[in-house]
Amino acid sequence: MLAKTESVALIGTEAHLVEVEVDVGTGVPRFTIVGLPSSTVREADQRVRSAILSSSENWPQQRITANLAPGALRKEGTHFDLPLAFGVLAASGRIPPEPLENWVVVGELALDGSVRPVRGTLAAAIACRESARRGIICPASNAVEASLVEGIEVVQVQSLRECIDWAKGTWTPDPPPVTPRRVEPVSPDMREVRGQGVAKEALEIAAAGGHNLLMCGPPGSGKTMLATRLPGILPAMTLEESLEVTRVYSVAGILGQHAGLVRDRPFRSPHHHATLAGVIGGGTGLPRPGEVSLAHHGVLFIDELPLYRGEVLESLRVPLEAGLVRIARSAGAVTYPARFSLIAAMNPCPCGYSGDAKRACRCREHRREAYRSKLSGPFIDRMDLGITLTRLTRAELVGPPEGESSDVIRARVEAARAQQSLRWGPSLTNASVPAGRFRAALDLTAEAGLELGSVIDGLALTGRGVDRLLRVSRTVADLHGSTEVTAEHLGKALGYRLQNLEGVRAA
């Protein structure tokens, strides 16, 4: 007898429908899975067999063949366990096949018949809606995640026994739980930062336009302290942005059980020993998302920048430019979103005190040059802003903190982002809008145009450098509520480029 149900194959953040055909017929008892399954999928025969026996059902002593179609699409993951079990039970006459029609099924089976959570449930639910299926059958731990997609039914199950009783019509599942209202984390306040007024302004510009920022300064000058306060001045994500981030986290398998929509902008800070696969994405089989994708619509903080491997830093160039990363492996190629702001921090030299007025640098000149030369020109060219932090004065250290709170700064950032949404469209910033559209709506004054010509001649900027200078100028204008980019706005942006980026490039 032949039975059919449906599941999904995860390719990147997309889920593609897979038809699960199971035939139970005559022949030597054996369970064979075909259709380009990975080793994880092929191992499902043992889990499915034990789960069915643990659910007080008999295992058919016949030849069982399962086909996962289309055959050219690679299948990975333990979420095929539950649809395969459904197929075996229906094909052997243990449950009626009709209830399985028009449903997408995902779930991993334990040997005792319980259903374990799987990754990618949100993507599966989206594929279910887009293909006009009735709904999704998934682990109870993933029910909140699946219920984020409107227009489909969600059947949450905790065991294979519940699945069997549901198919027979003797058990009715509870509705998915309502996502509890999350208590938003309290970000450290920018008001707590002593001094460093220039750095605070640079962070505000970076937050307002989605720009990349490089901070250079001695140990203890506040680089990490400033970076960790950036989330507190970023605007809240839109619903579309939250869904994109949640889908990435779901596919990566780090969304967490009973988790709902990710509402906080990501802030990722990988260690400097992180591998290329950990930062960009990779792993065995089809590649998993890396830190650049987990930071999508948020911030990637790279501390101690020159300590990272050269191949890791150079691999950031493509996502910084394109807003996505494409990873090719023998099992296939996937594309993950990677639109983030890069906030990088470094010391001026290995010991950290080059140029410090109070402490002498212990590094020889060749060590200082080797330290900074780890940052290539193309990498520095992709940084929009550069700031040099200095040691705090005695008055700044012992006096009361001065400056604006994160709430006040965030209000200005939100106003600037609102202007960019009106100009470019939702979720687009001055840093991410395509170059053609940006130049067409730049609105540079004649005086600023003349100033730009002098800058290009004097600094020998690359085409990318000019583009990023203009994008920062546009953000400065937005923060001032100006529809035009004036020479003053251009000068402010140029000051942040000259302060540190050109010095690093020269080294």
> Among residues 424, 445, 468, which one ends one of the domains?
424
The answer as to whether 130 is a domain residue is: yes
Indicate the range of 142-151, 181-190, 393-402, 459-468 predicted with least confidence: 181-190
Pair 94, 216 in one domain: no
Query: What are 152-176's pLDDT values in tens digits?
Result: 999 999 999 999 999 999 999 988 8
Rounded Cα distance between 194 and 104, Å, is 55
Examine the domain organization and report whether 12 and 60 are in the same domain. yes
Q: What is the end-to-end Cα distance of the chain in Å, rounded?
A: 73
Mean pLDDT of 324-330: 85
Q: How many helices (H) and strands (E) does the chain have?
A: 22, 18
Are 152 and 268 within one domain?
A: no
DSSP string, 372-413: HTTS-HHHHHT--EEEE--PPPHHHHHSPP-S--HHHHHHHH
Q: Do residues 331 and 361 both lie within one domain?
A: yes
> What pLDDT, on the 0 to 100 scale, is given for residue 456?
83
- Residue 158 sits in the same domain as residue 222: no
Q: What pLDDT sits at residue 26?
A: 86
Q: What is the pLDDT of residue 507?
A: 43
Give the mean pLDDT of the chain.
90
**What per-residue confidence (pLDDT) applies to 18?**
96
List pLDDT tens digits, range 345-401: 999 899 988 877 788 888 988 888 888 888 888 898 899 999 998 887 777 777 777
Same domain, 146 and 13: yes
Among residues 5, 85, 80, the alpha carbon closest in space to that of 50 is found at: 85
Mean pLDDT of the region 421-446: 91
Range of the domain at 72: 2-168
Final residue of a structural domain among 393, 424, 455: 424
254 and 402 co-located in one domain:
yes
Is residue 449 in a domain? Answer: no
Domains of the chain: total? 2
Is the model's pLDDT at 506 over the cut of 80? no
Answer yes or no: is 479 within a domain: no
Q: Is residue 500 part of a domain?
A: no
Q: Is residue 329 scored above 70 in pLDDT?
A: yes
Answer yes or no: is pLDDT of 479 > 50: yes
**pLDDT value for 185:** 56
pLDDT score recorded for residue 114 = 97
CATH number at residue 294: 3.40.50.300
CATH code for the domain in which residue 77 is found = 3.30.230.10
> Residue 186 — pLDDT band, cuts 50, 70, 90?
low
The CB density around residue 392, as the number of other CB atoms within 10 Å, is 15
Structure tokens at 314: 């150079």
pLDDT tens-place string over residues 260-279: 788 889 999 999 999 999 99
Give 167: exposed, middle or buried? Use CB within 10 Å, 0-12, 13-18, 19+: buried
Please give the backbone phi and psi of residue 10, each rounded to the nearest 5 degrees, phi first: -90, 120
Give the burial string for 362-381 (b: 16+ CB within 10 Å, else e). ebeeeebeebbeebeeebbb
- Say yes or no: 372 and 251 in one domain: yes
Q: Which of 293, 299, 233, 315 is nearest to 431 (CA)?
A: 299
Same domain, 254 and 317: yes
What pTM, to 2 d.p., does this model score? Answer: 0.87
Q: What is the pLDDT of residues 35-90, one digit of tens each?
A: 999 999 999 999 999 999 999 999 999 999 999 999 999 999 999 999 999 999 99
Whether omega before 70 lies within 30 degrees of 0, making that bond cis, reads yes
CA 396, chain centre distance (Å): 37
Query: Does one domain contain both 211 and 292?
Result: yes
Taking CA atoms, 205 is separated from 63, 209, 368, 398, in Å, by 66, 6, 30, 28
Q: Using the structure block, give the residue that is written with the tokens 């921090």.
A: 345
Same domain for 279 and 137?
Answer: no
Same-domain status, 124 and 264 = no
Q: Is residue 212 part of a domain?
A: yes
Question: What per-residue confidence (pLDDT) applies to 176?
Answer: 83
Q: Is residue 9 part of a domain?
A: yes
Domain assignment present for residue 182? The answer is: no
**Range 11-17 average pLDDT:** 92
452 found inside a domain? no
User: CB under 8 Å to 449, separation ≥6 — which residues?
Assistant: none
> 258 pLDDT band (50/70/90 cuts)?
low
Domain termination site, one of 363, 398, 424? 424
Looking at 117-276, which runs of residues are DSSP E strands? 135-139, 153-157, 213-216, 267-268
Q: 195-239, pLDDT tens digit by residue? A: 888 999 999 999 999 999 999 988 888 899 999 999 999 999 999
247, 348, 363, 366, 372 from 369: Cα distances, Å: 43, 10, 10, 5, 5
